């Protein structure tokens, strides 16, 4: 099979991580990076000398590029995705899928009409460790799951903060961090939340610096989720079942799970720790899945169907609606 040419829109930080994955994969080659600033693209390719520094238009007109990874700040995701689809490219877009569900629907509709592949790069879903956790939970080893708790927080250094605190770049903890536990829990439970109550603490710039929600799933599972870019928190997830609990330290990026079993009361039976090797470049798994799907003629990945990304954007819209958090480029009707 011919090598698949890739391009990246957004010559920023996370784009470098995907570039490393593309270089490691024998079926892909990174051919160009597109930026709104030629200087930014030229600086970026210093680290990747075989890659061309381009404008978005130049990148999208390249015949040797079949797939595009969108790695701009969230506020530009929709426009980049639509432009790439219109240019006939398959698209993988960084998390969050976009800014709100209205945008998500537009992206999904164009991908469907164009018969092109579209996938949200929520990279954790593709990791072997995550797949293993999913199968352990489904095995019933801790009985019926009734409660999940997830905390994901870190104090982000000043140099990485600009995009997180800037409302015009769709900053805030929900779209940047909360989206991980939200997406991961939905994937692990194979369900979307039915009901969500939430609250946030706003930053001086008016975005959510701490985001909190309680989510109820159709099976009755309750999940309590907190995220922040402003507080060092103990990032971890816990799954509580009728016969034990599973502890995931360092979640959502951890590779180790501790399975605590009890007899249905407080009597502990066993404790077992399990570590899964995800390899040295975590993004490789999402890339390989995208390549597999595109080569098979699929328009989406079963690991993260487009409809699920669209639905989860709606959950985050609901939270922001409760808090009155509209970005400067949004209208109130965008969150309906």
The dihedral built from the CA positions of residue 301, 113, 60 and 29, taken in this order, carries a sign that is positive
Strands 208-216 and 195-202 turn out to be antiparallel
Binders of ligand NAP among residues 76 to 95 (CB under 6 A) are 94-95
Binders of ligand NAP among residues 148 to 167 (CB under 6 A) are 163
Tell me how far, at minimum, the Cβ of 123 lies from ligand NAP, in Å. Answer: 5
For ligand NAP, the closer of residues 19 and 188 by Cβ is 19
Binders of ligand NAP among residues 18 to 47 (CB under 6 A) are 35-37, 40
Instruction: Considering only the stretches 7-15, 223-231, 267-275, 299-307, report the one whose residues sit in contact with ligand NAP under the rule CB under 6 A.
Output: 7-15
Tell me how far, at minimum, the Cβ of 260 lies from ligand NAP, in Å. Answer: 29
The residue of the chain with the least Cβ separation from ligand NAP equals 12
Q: Tell me how crowded residue 163 is: count the other CB atoms within 10 A of its CB.
A: 18
Strand order in the sheet with 256-262: 195-202, 208-216, 222-228, 145-153, 236-241, 244-249, 256-262, 268-275
For ligand NAP, the closer of residues 10 and 241 by Cβ is 10
Tell me how far, at minimum, the Cβ of 11 lies from ligand NAP, in Å. Answer: 4
Instruction: Considering only the stretches 65-73, 225-233, 272-280, 300-308, report the one whose residues sit in contact with ligand NAP under the rule CB under 6 A.
Output: 65-73
Nearest-CA neighbor of 276 among 285, 287, 267, 265? Answer: 285
For ligand NAP, the closer of residues 20 and 74 by Cβ is 74
For ligand NAP, the closer of residues 130 and 260 by Cβ is 130
CA 163 to CA 50: how far, in whole Å?
28
Tell me how far, at minimum, the Cβ of 33 lies from ligand NAP, in Å. Answer: 8
State how far the alpha carbon of 99 is from the alpha carbons of 76, 177, 319, in Å. Answer: 9, 13, 13
Nearest-CA neighbor of 189 among 235, 243, 133? Answer: 133
- The reply on whether position 197 binds ligand NAP by CB under 6 A is no
CA 311 to CA 307: how far, in whole Å?
6
Binders of ligand NAP among residues 213 to 272 (CB under 6 A) are none
CA 134 to CA 144: how far, in whole Å?
14
What is 215-227 written as a DSSP string? Answer: EE-TTS-EEEEEE
Residues binding ligand NAP (CB under 6 A)? 9-14, 35-37, 40, 71-74, 94-95, 123, 163, 169, 176
């Amino acid at each position: 099979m011919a090598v698949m040419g890739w391009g990246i829109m957004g010559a920023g930080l996370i784009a470098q991580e995907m570039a490393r994955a593309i270089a490691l994969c024998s079926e892909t080659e990174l051919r160009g990076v597109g930026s709104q600033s030629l200087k930014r693209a030229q600086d970026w390719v210093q680290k990747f000398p075989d890659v061309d520094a381009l404008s978005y238009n130049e990148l999208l007109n390249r015949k040797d590029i079949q797939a595009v990874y969108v790695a701009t700040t969230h506020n530009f995701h929709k426009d980049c995705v639509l432009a790439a689809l219109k240019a006939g490219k398959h698209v993988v877009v960084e998390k969050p899928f976009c800014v709100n569900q209205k945008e998500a629907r537009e992206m999904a509709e164009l991908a469907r009409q164009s018969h092109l592949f579209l996938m949200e790069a929520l990279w954790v879903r593709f990791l072997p460790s995550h797949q293993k956790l999913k199968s352990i939970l489904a095995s019933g080893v801790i009985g019926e799951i009734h409660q999940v708790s997830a905390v994901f927080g870190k104090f982000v250094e000043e140099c990485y903060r600009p995009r997180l605190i800037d409302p015009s770049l769709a900053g805030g903890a929900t779209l940047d961090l909360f989206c991980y536990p939200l997406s991961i829990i939905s994937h692990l439970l194979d369900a979307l939340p039915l009901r969500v109550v939430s609250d946030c603490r706003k930053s001086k710039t008016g975005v959510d610096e701490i985001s909190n929600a309680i989510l109820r799933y159709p099976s009755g599972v309750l999940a309590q989720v907190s995220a922040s870019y402003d507080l060092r928190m103990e990032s971890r997830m816990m799954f509580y079942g009728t016969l034990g609990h599973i502890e995931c330290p360092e979640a959502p990026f951890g590779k180790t799970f501790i399975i605590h079993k009890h007899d249905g009361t407080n009597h502990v039976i066993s404790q077992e720790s399990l570590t899964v090797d995800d390899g040295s470049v975590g993004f490789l798994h999402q890339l390989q899945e995208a390549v597999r799907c595109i080569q098979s003629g699929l328009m989406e990945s079963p690991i993260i169907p487009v409809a699920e990304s669209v639905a989860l954007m709606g959950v985050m819209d609901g939270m922001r609606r409760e808090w009155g958090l509209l970005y400067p480029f949004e209208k109130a009707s965008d969150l309906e």
